[in-house]
Amino acid sequence: MLDSLRNEKRPPYAQETFWADLKAGITLVASFVPTAMALGVISGMGPLAGLWCGVFVGIIGAVCGGTRAMVSGPSAVLAVITATVLMDDGVTLPELAVIIAMAGAIQMMLGLAGVGRFVSYMPHVVLTGFMSGIGVLLLWTQMEKLFHLGTSDLALAAFCLALVFLWPARIGKFIPAPLAVVGIGWIIALYVPDIHQLGPVPVGLPIPVLELPSLDFLPKAVGPAVLIALISSVYTLMWSLIADTFTRSQHNANRELFGLGLGNLVAGAVGVLPGSGTIATMTARRFGGKTVVAGIVCLVIIAALILGLGPYVAPLPLAALSAIVMLVGWRMIEFSFLLKVPRMDPRYSSVMLLVMAVTIFVDPVFAIMFGVIGANIVNAAQLESLELDSVISTPILDSTFSAEAPDDFSARIGLVAFRGSFTVSSSRKLIALIGADIRDHDVVIFDLSKATHVDDSAAHLLAQVIDRAKQTRTEIVVCGLHDRIRGPLFAFDVLKRIPEGRITKTEKEARDLAWSLLTAPPS
């Protein structure tokens, strides 16, 4: 189990790499702090919860994770989910801490179980619809908040948002746009008295809020914990893949999940926001960072600043923080993918748009479960036709079995050749196709020699076909049975339903046996 956490041999860490990471980490502080504070405010847990999330989850994830260049911390999607759980589900902060800690434990177990690479197999249309929905939700909630604050706040937010988009890229290498927005917004707020400010912010180490939950609460906590663990894991592994492209290395998904889970477990214990891989991974790269050391340098500096940050962040205008959140929301919307909707298969585009709509108008927590179910239904429908094409690869039941067969036998023997996978996607339709025709043949041969997979549902339905054949006095012969598909057939008593001596190794032996059954004198 622990072997799955071991990383492949990495290149040596040179002094030149350290100086690049040190410079990038110091510069990264300027963009990380305002974004983390804004996401902490959005989550309902406060700005320090976002900053401490970066410190705990980011440092633990960097030290224990499996990606060479990753910066973890608060993310917009987890901030929205956390806010939803706090407000809509009505949980308390200690209960939320239990949920976050449970999510971290789930991620650690996924890593230890060695299933990290499978976690990222969430359908792309579901993830795109969900992330785009979160982006729209962030834009809408911040605009609604600004309208309630007043005209001055709305004007300041519009100015800050324009500043973010127009900020020169050359200057952004030294002074990131989010830092410029916060600084300029703070100066404007000094001269415009009716602009709402963030207000007093407590400083110091986070106070642990994790309490032993009641037995009644635990079942309610499982759903949100699984969702946080799943979204955090998928989002992080997505950034791991992106990081691999510029580090020219290969991340260890299981170790990454274990390290991230340990970070979230600690985050829950101290009562701060859950975290994941973030866009700061790319920002650190843009500043010249080479490895996770850049993120560690940034977060160690932030940890030192937090202890005395309170008096300085209290005057920050809420409108400037809202502008940063709106920028994050804008970047989360997959405009390039949405433009492809007219060219996509309507089934997949419908799933994406429905997930996006459910995220915006119903509940982000429900949207991801709805999307996975919808995508699986679409995939099952697609697999049905593909599997039927391969399973019914020769004329079945109502066609001549072989040119070598005597004429009086040609319509009495049928063949079903299974090629490739035979799963729940195709099994029911296949059974419906061949079940009604079985009574018209005296012998039916099931050729399993080229079947690569038979799942439990297909095996169960295959057993029903054999039972139906017995009722119509149709003889069943099986050929080509091999070890890969023997297990499920044995588990569902399919093999017990086949009379002794009716399982052959080759198709020729099955033909000979079928003809002998037809020519045998009646018993």
Same-domain status, 277 and 406: no
SS (H, E, C) 2-64: HHHHCCCCCCCCCHHHHHHHHHHHHHHHHHHHHHHHHHHHHHCCCHHHHHHHHHHHHHHHHHH
Q: Which of 55-69, 129-143, 272-286 shows the highest mean pLDDT?
A: 55-69
Domain assignment present for residue 475? The answer is: yes
**Count of structural domains, the chain:** 2
Same-domain status, 319 and 398: no
Same-domain status, 59 and 166: yes
pLDDT at position 26, please?
Answer: 85
Evaluate if residue 296 carries a pLDDT over 60: yes
Q: pLDDT for 165-211, tens place per residue?
A: 888 888 877 788 888 888 888 888 888 878 888 776 666 677 776 66
Across the strands, what pairs with 416?
Answer: 446
Domain assignment present for residue 14? The answer is: no
CA 494 distance to own-chain centroid: 36
Same-domain status, 411 and 305: no
Domain boundary (280, 300, 331) is at 331
Same-domain status, 426 and 311: no
Domain assignment present for residue 403? The answer is: yes
Q: pLDDT for 218-243, tens place per residue?
A: 888 888 999 899 889 988 988 887 78
Q: pLDDT for 442-470, tens place per residue?
A: 888 888 888 888 877 778 777 877 887 88
Strand 276-277 relative to strand 413-422: parallel, antiparallel, unpaired?
unpaired
Same-domain status, 408 and 326: no
Domain assignment present for residue 128? The answer is: no
Q: Name the token pair of 323.
A: 């502008």
Same-domain status, 221 and 291: yes
Domain assignment present for residue 9? The answer is: no
- Give the structural domain span for 413: 392-519
Domain assignment present for residue 41? The answer is: yes
Q: Which of 304-308, 371-375, 505-509 shows the highest mean pLDDT?
A: 505-509
Same-domain status, 284 and 402: no
Domain assignment present for residue 12? The answer is: no
pLDDT at position 186, please?
Answer: 85
CA distance 215 to 130: 32
Residues above pLDDT 90, as percent of the chain: 18
**Least reliable range by pLDDT among 70-74, 188-192, 383-387, 517-521:** 383-387
- pTM: predicted TM-score of the whole model, two decimal places: 0.70
Evaluate if residue 61 carries a pLDDT over 90: yes
Residues 6+ apart with CB under 8 A from 476: 443, 444, 446, 466, 469, 497, 498, 499, 502
Domain boundary (331, 353, 376) is at 331
Count CA atoms within 13 Å of residue 501 on its CB side: 6
Same-domain status, 235 and 310: yes
Same-domain status, 285 and 406: no
Average pLDDT over residues 369-396: 61
CA distance 49 to 55: 10
Is residue 53 very low, low, confident or very high in pLDDT (cuts 50, 70, 90)? very high
